[in-house]
Amino acid sequence: MGTTRLPRPAQTVLGPDKDTFLPTENPFEQMMSRFDEAARRLNLEPGLYRILRMPEKQIIVSIPVQCDNGEIEVYTGYRVIYNTSRGPAKGGIRFDLQVNLNEMQALAAWMTWKCAVVNLPFGGAKGGVICDPATMSNGEIERLTRRYTSAIIETLGPDSDVPAPDVNTNERVMAWVMDTYSMHKRHTVTAVVTGKPVAMGGSLGRREATGRGCMIVTREALRQLGRPLPGCRVVVQGFGNVGSVAADLMAKAGMTIVAVSDKSGGIHDPKGLDLTAVFAHVKERKLLKDFPDGHHVSNQELLTLDCEVLVPAALENVITHENADAIKAKVICEGANGPTTAAADRILNQKGVFVIPDILANAGGVTVSYFEWVQDRGGYFWDEETVNSRLEKIMVQSFEEVTAMARRHGVDNRIGAYMLAIDRVATVHRLRGMYA
């Protein structure tokens, strides 16, 4: 279910003026510090700046659920629609104790820029419920999902808001969302969500899409830097769906995976891990700290291991001003959303680290979600080879567009990606004009 969750660091980082500090617990302000820099370089009009800096809609709902023991528990849920100028809102639903409105705002904004970076006809959204699904039965999770869906149903729809899985949600949860929406509409509406089971309109290749996208852009970055893939050492923080798929595909592309981690810690072998053994260990629902081979390291130590490629695929704000200077990787591929703070970006830039920003690096998932939405609406489904080849084309083209923007304006890849995305969204706003 989504990316691996690791303990959150409590730190502060330099703000955009370099003299103030932003709390890393505020992901929206972290995102906006990059937005502000990109908007300034684009000379964005003040009116458009104000429009793009604010979510379109923010929904807070109370969700009463009858527990298996007969008691009633009331949960809090959110859905934030950030921008829909380019098309329906797109964004995941997460079930987690860390869910809050500020995080939903940041993630919805990231989805807006992410969809624009890869030029999809979507806007951005994010939703979540404050809960601990690990302590809930399947029946309780189903009742929670259905009541949450009915609470936000006015915003949902193939032409308005299309959810997807995220942290602690999966295909099954999306099936419940689709069924609840369809029962209200009195007919089956497969295109209301993506990330569904293939048997009910899901797309082949969707589960591997985010990790596959990470592999593709990492490959392109190494090619641009003139570094051969064989023997290139890779460290992956987070061994959930994104990290594990990225590690597997990078290994198959000739790279050497020297370290991986989950919430319990990591394992490291400078000669390369036996991924077959690692996957077999994890499949038995075992934590990596119990893996018998390799040197055990903490998640903090793992980030500074000697390697060519680092893939942070767990939480936001794990690379900060406190550890950025110790990072040895030449390329960072951000599998997670917001893993690098603004202050850390400046340090990495000074070190010459090639950062593939999150809104490009992990856009493979939303790209294949778009493919699923297209297939559902057309009622015609593609084979996996077609899905993967079309994903590769979009990821390679988007990588080239982001790096070209960065070179043209003399900025790092992250600001280049934001400039590309903001310019695309702003262009549509200008063309549509202001409804008054």
The values of phi and psi at residue 17, to 5°, are -90, 0
**126 catalytic per annotation:** yes
The values of phi and psi at residue 34, to 5°, are -75, -40
From the candidates 90, 114, 126, 330, give the one annotated as an active-site residue. 126
Of residues 189, 175, 243, 206, the one with CA closest to residue 366: 206
Q: Got the DSSP string for 20-70?
A: SEEETT-HHHHHHHHHHHHHHHHT--HHHHHHHTS-SEEEEEEEEEE-TTS
Walk across the sheet containing 331-333 and list its strands. Answer: 295-297, 265-268, 256-262, 233-237, 309-312, 331-333, 354-356
Strand-pair category, 57-66 with 233-237: unpaired
Tell me the CA distances in angstroms from 131 to 88, 95, 135, 141, 168, one per residue in order: 27, 6, 9, 10, 10
Is residue 127 within 8 A of residue 49, CB to CB? The reply is: no
SS3 content of the chain, % helix, strand, coil (to 5): 45, 20, 35
Is residue 418 within 8 A of residue 359, CB to CB? The reply is: yes
Phi-psi region of 43 (alpha: psi -120 to 50; beta: other; left: phi over 0): left
Is residue 347 within 8 A of residue 103, CB to CB? The reply is: no
Is residue 418 within 8 A of residue 38, CB to CB? The reply is: yes
Catalytic residues: 126
